[in-house]
Amino acid sequence: MITIEIDKKICNGDGKCVEICPIHILKMNEKKRIPEYIPGGGDLCINCGQCFAFCPPGAIKLSTMSVEDSMPLDHSKLPGAEQVELFLKGRRSVRLYKDTPVSKESIDKLLDIARYAPSGINRQPVNWAVVMGKDKVRELGGLVSKWMEELLSQKSPLAESLHFDRLVESWNKGEDTICRGAPCIVVAYGLKDDPMVPQSCTIAATYLELAAFGLGFGACWAGYVNIAINMSESVRKFAGMSSRATAGAVMMIGYPKYRYSRIPSRNPVSVRIKD
């Protein structure tokens, strides 16, 4: 149960918190002119912190968050529209990495940002598994290649449609089109029986990819590793995940070997608007 405390001395009684609560568990105590939970509200609270974030004077304290421990938001420091567009359009998948290893502190920083990604009912169901260092990543790639070989020998339609033959061939030549020689692989995973897990992992990994770009790293989705983790016990175990877990996204992280100079074209937007 989440409890709420209102600092009566600074609450301005504007009722914004009541209006903004996504699950309508706050009401205004008209006599006291302060908000309070409806009966049972503390059990229904999803801990999203919207009431807390939108309270201008900072009068709300939840049992899970307080103004003193939270980060203020200085809107003047946010990027402008042009910078946002350039940043989002300017992100690219990076598949060539420098030999420089990525430190644990850097991964901590990126994951710290990624935990602010939205998640269904604010469940924050994403866990991370990190494979650190080129040698460990190479070991992971070897297990994925072996699993691909097994599927090829079984004439699996998946192996055919995803051209596993080409990936295995290049792996056996000493190339790495599976993990691209990245010095670090990050897996976003959660419980198989939680319906919010797939999208939450995808969004968290997207945050991670954008954070990596913003902080000078290069990243690329590792779709083959993702499928392998969810289909091969040995790959899943290597990633340190239990049989109850499913990988929702896998990302390669490293320092980009090259800097790109322009933004490639994309298809025109396909949209149908009903108005």
Ligand X SMILES: Cc1cc2nc3c(=O)[nH]c(=O)nc-3n(C[C@H](O)[C@H](O)[C@H](O)COP(=O)(O)O)c2cc1C
- Given candidates 21, 37, 61, 95, which one binds ligand X under the rule CB under 6 A? 95
Quote the DSSP letter at residue 248: E
The reply to whether 220 sits near ligand X by the rule CB under 6 A is yes
112: CB partners within 8 A, 6+ apart? none
Burial of 218 (0-12, 13-18, 19+ CB in 10 A): buried
And the tokens for 212? 């990596």
The reply to whether 129 sits near ligand X by the rule CB under 6 A is no
Total residues contacting ligand X by CB under 6 A comes to 9
The reply to whether 97 sits near ligand X by the rule CB under 6 A is no
Q: Which amino acid is at 239?
A: A
d(CA 246, CA 191): 6
Q: Which of residues 224-243 bind ligand X (CB under 6 A)?
A: 224
> What is the nearest approach in angstroms of ligand X to the Cβ of residue 20?
33
Using the minimum distance from each CB to ligand X, give the nearer residue, 92 or 136. Answer: 92
Q: Which of residues 153-172 bind ligand X (CB under 6 A)?
A: none
C-beta contacts of 67-74 below 8 A and 24+ residues apart: none
Stretch that binds ligand X, among 35-43, 54-62, 100-108, 215-223 (CB under 6 A): 215-223
Using the minimum distance from each CB to ligand X, give the nearer residue, 137 or 220. Answer: 220
Rg, Å, the chain Cα set:
23
Q: Which of 13, 4, 25, 17 is nearest to 51 (CA)?
A: 17
18: CB partners within 8 A, 6+ apart? 26, 27, 28, 35
> What is the nearest approach in angstroms of ligand X to the Cβ of residue 96?
10
d(CA 145, CA 124): 32
> What is the nearest approach in angstroms of ligand X to the Cβ of residue 263?
9
Using the minimum distance from each CB to ligand X, give the nearer residue, 16 or 146. Answer: 146
The reply to whether 222 sits near ligand X by the rule CB under 6 A is yes
The reply to whether 255 sits near ligand X by the rule CB under 6 A is no
The reply to whether 92 sits near ligand X by the rule CB under 6 A is yes
- Site residues for ligand X per CB under 6 A: 92-93, 95, 180, 220-224
